[in-house]
Structure 1
Amino acid sequence: MRQTDVLIIGSGVAAFQLANKLRHDINVIIITKSMITETNSYLAQGGIAAALSDQDNSAKHFKDTLEAGRYHNDPEAVKTLTSEAPALIKALQQQGCLFDKDKQGQLLLGLEGAHSEKRIVHGGGDATGKTLMDFLIAYTSSHVEILENYYVYELLVKNNRCVGVKAKGSDQQVEIFAARHIILATGGCGQLYRYSSNAETATGDGIALAYLAGADITDMEFIQFHPTLLYANGKTHGLVSEAVRGEGGRLITADGNELMRDVHPLSDLAPRHIVSQTIYQSLSRGEQVYLDITHVKNFTARFPTIAQLCRKNHIDLTSKQIPVVPGSHFLMGGIKTDVIGQSSLPGLYALGETACTGVHGANRLASNSLLEGLFAGKKLAEWLNKQDYTWDLPHDIEGKSKKSELACLPNLHDIKHSMMERVGIVRSHNGLLAQKNWLNSFQLEEYRHVNLDAATTETITRFFMLVTAALITNGALQRTESRGGHYRVDFPCEDNNNWRQHQLIQRLGRRLEKQDEQTKIKTAT
């Protein structure tokens, strides 16, 4: 068993921001199931939102975030995030992070959907995630140990506190890590869907881990579908950033009609859920949708990553039309935490996309995700830097022996296709109920005492995907309204009287354990 002060699971912007902001006398281990560059953070094209221009201010950023989130956000969390955004960018600049600048040496600010001002900071044109992550990784000090290709598959809980994890290295041998503070920064769950912009690693592991350990989960029905994924040969091949539309790109049908002109006042820069639903409706009618880049100046120079992606997939850029479809992009829900990342399970924290602080509400405002990672990592580091690290970890943290094993599970194709068709961009009671019944047929709740030690990481991944899929499906079935990233054709309007509250999901087994404890207390008294 290995011991450390702080154990971080995941290797995106939130993980490295946290690690870099911790005191150097605090021992830190970062565990990632793949390579540190195989994350959504590293793939991020768009940028980081911050009110930095003379025409902009944090109040406008605050308002735009609430509007995009359909006012399901936690206003105080949004206010704190947007007010601290400029300082976060300036601090990175002072440390040497290279963001794009104009000819006068000022930050080059872009415009994206649902933003009222130009406030998107970029790096490397459309390679902001890579620019930021390369800087944070290079900035990492020797007090941080990085372990790649370690798959965390169980959280260890003793005396109602998370004290460790089980993980498998590339040799599939089980290793135990104990820590005073355990942070899940595992990203989202985009790979649950057939079409997705997400890295292959984004399979919802952290949410499933937290749920099975007894932590509260919330707002899982809110999935953001990005309107424009490159579509070729029947498959998606990566993201075409919203910034392209910010620079003049227009969504059109095959006959040249502008798709968004009469749909929303912001036209092609309408909130993502509106654009995604509009494209989906066209695709349902058999109409292919294209992103027309005729009016984007110097497209290849401004968007080198996207241009290379198009060439790789044999898209002729001289036609000025890029075929696109919407796909899963970001999870607004997740592990319920407070603003610094503390979950309902002592000792366990969550940051970034795997957490739900209420910042994003029902739909994330463009380029608020990298910002959230920077903000959340800094906030939790400030709190952890003040904690006492002298107390000893408990012994025998493995807990009780588990007997049951995973039964036959569906393949990845069936999981992804069923989620896309039934719990995707447009949802209905019948489709959601069919998906719930299908998921229930695998008796997932009976696996709360499952022994995963002998299972392969591929099997565990499918199990975690099913657990997370069930959380999304149940949340979507219970929310009988349409709001943000959750659209139900049978309830197409927002219900501001009854359904603006957050849906809290507590693991069934955990609730039963709590009830048993309460019964014992009552009996004893």
Structure 2
Amino acid sequence: MKTRKTDVLIIGSGLSGLMTAELLSLQKNVMIFTKKRLEDSNSYLAQGGIAAAVQEKDAWYDHFLDTLQAGCFHNETAAARQLVTDGLEMIQKLVGLGVQFDRQPDGTYQYGKEGAHSHARILHIGGDSTGKHLIDTVKKRIIEKNLVVEGETVLKLIVKNNRCIGVWSMDELGEMTATYASAVILATGGLSGLYPLNSNASTITGDGLALAYDAGAELTDLEFIQFHPTLLVNDDGKSVGLVTEAIRGEGAALVDESGNRLMKNEHPLEDLAPRDVVSRVLYRAQMAGKETFLDIRNINDFQKRFPTVTRLCAKNRVSIEKGLIPVAPGAHFTMGGVGTDVGGRTSITGLYAVGEVANTGVHGANRLASNSLLEGVVFANRLAQTVRSETDVELTLEAEWEGIEVLADSPTFEEIREIMNNHIGIERDERGLNQAVRWFERYLNTTVIHEFPSLEDIKKRNQILVGWLVAGSALQRTESRGSHYRTDHPYQREKWQQRRVKRRKECYESVESTAGA
């Protein structure tokens, strides 16, 4: 088996991983592993934009309060404050890297509005292809520095005395390598690919969570999985891509096949309510046998303003001329993950996490729209500062491969997705969650140690492990909050509304007193 050594090893190629690499590459030797191609990330698929309180009439504390309210006040306030106060600096840093946000004819930024935002503060690129442009800009710089190893799957973290010193990995030809690093960074994304309807890249199935769990790192809030209300669905009912929330911000409405407004009287913000609320309304409509659509008939120049969605519809033979885009809610974003502080440190020394795989607590129980790309750059910057401030350790290249657990018996990927969808979906209850836990445990109890596993063996065992972790977390939280909705412990709407109003008032008073600090 081969060995190699670097200062910093980053696992994953989304925006947070690439930004961390870019920010560290002048001071450290950096290497990036991605199990497929560099473009296979959720960041690349992100359409809507990046939220930041940039314009004069907006303020970081309004963005902060919107983030807390969307997160049902389950957020870590220090992390949420860090997110919004660093926003302007990171937007300027992106512009310095060559990012060109859409502008008005007078040269000022164009701002979009999305669900649960009190101001129009969403910066975008190319209308609805923000993620692609951000990744392309940073990727070009990364490729020039020759930092990327494509087709490399991490099998196991190397941990000695609660310090991570590297990883075992396998390439697409089955060759294994031990790579040693003073800092190992998980930037692997979330787990939404485990659901049949999802907006994620096909590679995003929770591998980073499994790696961290096996190494003994703390994982938190895995029950909080955001379902995006508007995934484009084809005639077979399969999701074929995301329909950005920015379209609703421009006046589109969710309707059923009879033209009835689905969000009317459901929430004061109607079609721009928080995503968990909108997703449940659409889900219940579909369970009642209704078809659900996004009505875009009052949006002028739709094709020019939303070229990515236009191309997506054309590719899947959906006519936008009719003005009704068939949509359904699907798994989108993992709020929980590997527990970290705002500097990216996990409970294992030398192991860090950033982006969707990490849980700083910034999103609480439900992520505010377009805070994910902001999270990626803000906490990449914070993590880079952390790594630069810590002394590199002298690594001894002495780890011995001892094999890895795989399943002696395993289900199909479709069966895993069916369990996730039926029992750990938009609505949950104790009976279904117990059933899911038992189902996953039946396979986990068949594990054996394999010296030379296949990549398929590794992938399947990770999927089962992550499904079990999510089901167990959801079973333990008996309240309904944000994206975690228990039909056996539903929201008491009036009580929750009173609590939210009170918490928002308390936060406003607290934040206003320090807003000038």
TM-score range, shorter chain: over 0.9
Match of 1:206 in 2: 208
* 1:124-143 equivalence runs, <5 A: 124-140=126-142
Q: CA RMSD in A?
A: 1.6
Deviations 1:185-209 (A, max 9, x none): 0001111111100000111000000
2:45 to 43, 46, 62: 43
Unaligned runs of 5+ in 2: 501-517
Deviations 1:264-284 (A, max 9, x none): 000000000000000000000
Match of 2:363 in 1: 360
Q: Are the counterparts in 1 of residues 40 and 201 from structure 2 also a CA contact under 8 Å?
A: yes
How far did residue 86 of structure 1 move?
1.3
Q: Secondary structure at the match of 2:9?
A: strand
* Matches of 2:27 and 2:330, distance apart in 1: 43
Specify the code of the residue in structure 2 equivalent to 1:415: I
Identity between Structure 1 and Structure 2 (%):
46
Deviates more, 1:85-94 or 1:327-336: 85-94
| Aligned residue pairs, count | 492
How far did residue 141 of structure 1 move?
7.3
Deviations 1:118-152 (A, max 9, x none): 00010111000001001111223765520001111
Specify the code of the residue in structure 2 equivalent to 1:17: M
2:344 to 322, 341, 344: 341
Deviates more, 1:217-226 or 1:403-412: 403-412
Residue 153 (structure 1) aligned with residue 155 (structure 2): yes
Match of 2:504 in 1: none
Deviations 1:329-354 (A, max 9, x none): 00000000111111001111110000
Q: Secondary structure at the match of 2:276?
A: helix
Residue 487 (structure 1) aligned with residue 488 (structure 2): no
Q: Secondary structure at the match of 2:254?
A: strand
Deviates more, 1:177-186 or 1:133-142: 133-142
Match of 2:171 in 1: 169
Match of 1:468 in 2: 466
Specify the code of the residue in structure 1 equivalent to 2:321: T
Change (3 A) 1:163 1:57: same
* Matches of 1:118 and 1:266, distance apart in 2: 14
* Matches of 2:406 and 2:323, distance apart in 1: 53
How far did residue 95 of structure 1 move?
3.0
Match of 1:443 in 2: 444
TM-score normalised by L of structure 1: 0.91
Match of 2:510 in 1: none
Change (3 A) 1:6 1:158: same
Specify the code of the residue in structure 2 equivalent to 1:155: L
* 1:210-221 equivalence runs, <5 A: 210-221=212-223
* Matches of 1:86 and 1:463, distance apart in 2: 42
Q: Are the counterparts in 2 of residues 224 and 273 from structure 1 also a CA contact under 8 Å?
A: yes
* Matches of 1:180 and 1:443, distance apart in 2: 32
Match of 2:372 in 1: 369
* Matches of 1:323 and 1:471, distance apart in 2: 33
Q: Secondary structure at the match of 1:139?
A: helix
Residue 112 (structure 1) aligned with residue 125 (structure 2): no
Specify the code of the residue in structure 1 equivalent to 2:472: N
* Matches of 1:43 and 1:366, distance apart in 2: 15
Specify the code of the residue in structure 1 equivalent to 2:425: G
Deviations 1:272-301 (A, max 9, x none): 000000000000000010000011221111
Q: Secondary structure at the match of 2:352?
A: strand
* 1:219-230 equivalence runs, <5 A: 219-230=221-232
How far did residue 403 of structure 1 move?
7.5
Match of 2:28 in 1: 26
Specify the code of the residue in structure 2 equivalent to 1:345: I
Match of 1:231 in 2: 233
Q: Secondary structure at the match of 1:441?
A: helix
2:261 to 221, 243, 258: 258
Match of 1:299 in 2: 302
Unaligned runs of 5+ in 1: 501-525
Q: Secondary structure at the match of 1:385?
A: helix
* Matches of 2:328 and 2:214, distance apart in 1: 34
Q: Are the counterparts in 2 of residues 19 and 144 from structure 1 also a CA contact under 8 Å?
A: no
Q: Are the counterparts in 2 of residues 249 and 295 from structure 1 also a CA contact under 8 Å?
A: yes
Deviations 1:294-320 (A, max 9, x none): 112211111101011101111111110
Deviations 1:46-91 (A, max 9, x none): 1100001222110000000000000000011111110110111122
Q: Secondary structure at the match of 2:443?
A: coil
Q: Secondary structure at the match of 2:293?
A: strand
* Matches of 2:373 and 2:312, distance apart in 1: 22
Match of 1:82 in 2: 84
Match of 2:424 in 1: 423
How far did residue 160 of structure 1 move?
1.9
